[in-house]
Amino acid sequence: MCGLPPSSGKGRSISKGGFTMQILKKCQRKNGNIYGDRQPVIAFTGDSVTQGCFELYVKPDGNAETVFNAMESYSQKVKELLAMLYPAANVTIVNAGISGNRAPVGFDRLQEDVLSFRPDLTVVCYGLNDSNQKAEGLEEYTTALRNIFRAVRRAGSEVIFMTPNMATDRVDPALTEAPIAAAAAHVSATVREGWLDTYVKAARQVCAEEQVPVCDCYALWQTMQAGGVDVTSLLSNKINHPTREMHWLFAYELVKTMFENP
């Protein structure tokens, strides 16, 4: 499910195997000579899932808050997988995910939070929060993605777009606290109306036009659902945050994408 979107052939040169990605070559060189090149740097920009947010709880003031655990996020699991494959490379991870962010905000803070670290590869994942804007926010979303991709490449970084996980289409009975149930009702309505599907399809189209490799995890979640899996059970907050275990799916598919585009 990961790899290249359809391409017009314009822009970056494409080898027989796909886009010429350098991140694994840099890992290989560093692994072979720790005194040579600098440590490879992979940056991740996105929303709460990227940041490493899981369950929700209600604070004494009555507002909902998330459990933060960045060490369980998929970016850290990518680091673990690459450490297994290239133990001496010691890849540096920059996690620039922020809970609640949408792609336009991600673009606004791109220079300070991502590009200032001079990443060799930047992984972009937006769409969950953006889709809540429905029709009004769709053009703003695609424009922001395009701006992010172009800015990342101008800065000398490779880029992968990862489609998000699915969100719930119902209010789970386990969500008994009013602020959390209200959030689930809002998100599930957006999903049932098809807006998350629409935003993911639009993102894929932008990637095709910009020749950005796509790690299509959303399609994997759809496949699981079609196979009878209750995807809400795979969400730690029963709304839109995958469980800690499901972050391994993102990590594995991202590393797979790196290898599929040598």
- Please compute the mean of the pLDDT values over residues 56-84 and round it to a whole number: 98
Q: Token match 């777009």: residue?
A: 161
Element (H, E) at 215: strand 214-215
Q: What is the pLDDT of residue 156?
A: 98
Position 2 scores a pLDDT of 52
Q: What are phi and psi of 245, to 5 degrees?
A: -65, -35
pLDDT range class, residue 3, cuts 50, 70, 90: low
- Residue 9 in this model has a pLDDT that exceeds 60: no
Give the predicted TM-score (pTM) of the model: 0.92
Q: What percent of the chain has pLDDT over 70?
A: 92
Q: Which domain holds residue 179?
A: 2-260
Percent pLDDT > 90 in the chain is 91
Buried b or exposed e, range 130-140, using 16+ CB within 10 angstroms:
bbbbeeebbee
**What CATH number is associated with residue 71?**
3.40.50.1110
Q: In which region does residue 134 sit, left (phi positive, over 0), alpha (psi from -120 to 50) or beta (all else)?
A: left
Is the pLDDT at 262 greater than 90? The verdict is: no
User: Would the pLDDT of 8 be above 80?
Assistant: no
What is the tally of structural domains in the chain? 1
- The dihedral of CA 4, 113, 142, 101: what is its sign? positive
The pLDDT tens digits of the residues spanning 155-199 come to 999 999 999 999 999 999 999 999 999 999 999 999 999 999 999
Strands 41-46 and 92-95 turn out to be parallel
Residue 15 reports pLDDT greater than 50: no
Q: How many angstroms separate the Cα of 85 from the Cα of each of 32, 90, 123, 134, 162?
A: 12, 11, 19, 41, 21
Strands (E), 18-177: 18-19, 41-46, 53-58, 64-68, 92-95, 121-125, 158-162
* Amino acid 1: pLDDT: 53
pLDDT band of residue 59 (cuts 50, 70, 90) is very high
pLDDT band at 261 (very low <50, low <70, confident <90, very high): confident
- Cβ pair 158, 80 in contact under 8 A: no
The H or E element containing residue 15 is strand 14-15
